[in-house]
Amino acid sequence: MNENVKAPKTLTPEPKSFIGLPVCTNWAELRADAVLFGVPHGKPYFEKNFPNDQSRAPFALRSASDRIVVGADSVNMDYSRSPSLSKGITLIDGGDIALEEGKLDQHYSQAEDAVRYALKNNIMPISIGGDDGVTNPVLRGLDVCENITLIQIDAHLDWKDERFGEYDGYSSPMRRASELSQIKDIHQIGIRSFGSSTEKELKIAKDWGAQIHLARDIHKYGIESVIAKLPKGGQFFITLDVDGLDPSVMPGTVALAPGGLFWWHIVELFDALSQKGSILGLNVVEMSPKNDLNQISMIGVGRLILGIVLQEIVKKMK
């Protein structure tokens, strides 16, 4: 277990905090049940691709605040008051991880520090990318915990060892995860696309024991077929690449692939994780504001975040 726990340096959230939450950029003073923070920059494969549109996602998500929840109360206010943010739950906007002098290594290590610092202090980390490269440091920061079941929602397998010499890019997060001692098992949910693995990597993933749940099977047999395979009493960490969802649900992404998960699939999956065990935290990546449609992807992601935080923390308070 890593004992080297440091608070990250973060910047004031722009244009305003997520759903009007209180802001804390000095994490040494952070007291909360959960903290949301941006990690705008994944390591690019080519310099010309930096920065990318995904790096604007924390800004775009916060910009959609007024359409995510009203009065920071219940997400489902029209038909259910509970769970509710007014029940003494502290969710804080922790700002964005800084990018000092363009140093991506430092950006990554601060993202790692942020996750580690939050977990060590019993605060649920909610990291907002950035492209899927961001997932690499986020998962490394989980090393203050053990026996984690990693839940990856994604159209892509992401088991490439490296691409263009980069080992920490957006095609490698599951490969890097498989090397971490804190990751006990991996469930890959919504898989249906191409580009982040070949037959060789697929074999490596299967040999390692990754459980691959194809989107096609989920539509055929229901999300219950996935839920049945998740460990009871599991300690789950969710990494959500929004391209795992169907483009009709989440158009605001880059690597669109037909046939993805629908809204209620993901809601039921998250509810089941909370019922079966505990959710350590959430990482959301690959949101692309320029491809979004009337902010629907940002609204969806915002509501998923609140759903998880509220459900999980209300459960702990009982």
Structure tokens at 291: 């491809």
Which is closer to Mn ion, CB of 154 or CB of 201? 154
Question: What letter represents residue 33's amino acid?
Answer: D
Give yes or no for a contact between 116 and 110, defined as CB atoms under 8 angstroms apart.
no
Residues 93-132 vs Mn ion: string with x where CB under 5 A? ----------------------------------------
Strands (DSSP E) contained in 196-234 are: 211-214
Number of residues binding to Mn ion, judged by CB under 5 A: 5
Determine the 3-state secondary structure of 109 from DSSP: helix
- Which stretch, 18-26, 212-220, 242-250, 260-268, contacts Mn ion (CB under 5 A)? 242-250
Q: How far is the CB of 193 from Mn ion (least distance, A)?
A: 7
Any idea how long the chain is? 318
By CB under 5 A, the residues from 152 to 171 that bind Mn ion are: 154-156
Angstrom CA distances, 178 to 67, 94, 160, stand at: 37, 29, 11
Determine the 3-state secondary structure of 114 from DSSP: helix
Which is closer to Mn ion, CB of 243 or CB of 312? 243
Which is closer to Mn ion, CB of 123 or CB of 284? 284
- Which stretch, 75-83, 219-227, 240-248, 273-281, contacts Mn ion (CB under 5 A)? 240-248
Q: For the sheet with 10-11, list strands across it.
A: 10-11, 91-97, 34-39, 124-129, 278-285, 235-241, 148-153, 183-191, 211-214
Q: Which of 113, 243, 292, 312 binds Mn ion (CB under 5 A)?
A: 243
- Which stretch, 106-114, 235-243, 259-267, 308-316, contacts Mn ion (CB under 5 A)? 235-243
- Which stretch, 22-30, 148-156, 229-237, 275-283, contacts Mn ion (CB under 5 A)? 148-156
CA 36/CA 282 separation, integer angstroms:
9
Angstrom CA distances, 285 to 30, 152, 155, 278, 297, stand at: 24, 11, 12, 21, 12
- Which stretch, 25-33, 34-42, 107-115, 234-242, contacts Mn ion (CB under 5 A)? 234-242
Q: How far is the CB of 257 from Mn ion (least distance, A)?
A: 8
| 33 closest CA partner among 97, 116, 92, 84 | 92
CA 150/CA 194 separation, integer angstroms:
21
Contact call for residue 56 and Mn ion (CB under 5 A): no
Q: How far is the CB of 243 from Mn ion (least distance, A)?
A: 4
Which is closer to Mn ion, CB of 223 or CB of 242? 242
By CB under 5 A, the residues from 168 to 197 that bind Mn ion are: none
Q: How far is the CB of 173 from Mn ion (least distance, A)?
A: 9
Q: Which of 131, 143, 241, 292 binds Mn ion (CB under 5 A)?
A: 241
Q: How far is the CB of 77 from Mn ion (least distance, A)?
A: 32
CA 99/CA 86 separation, integer angstroms:
34
Residues lying near Mn ion in the complex (CB under 5 A) = 154-156, 241, 243
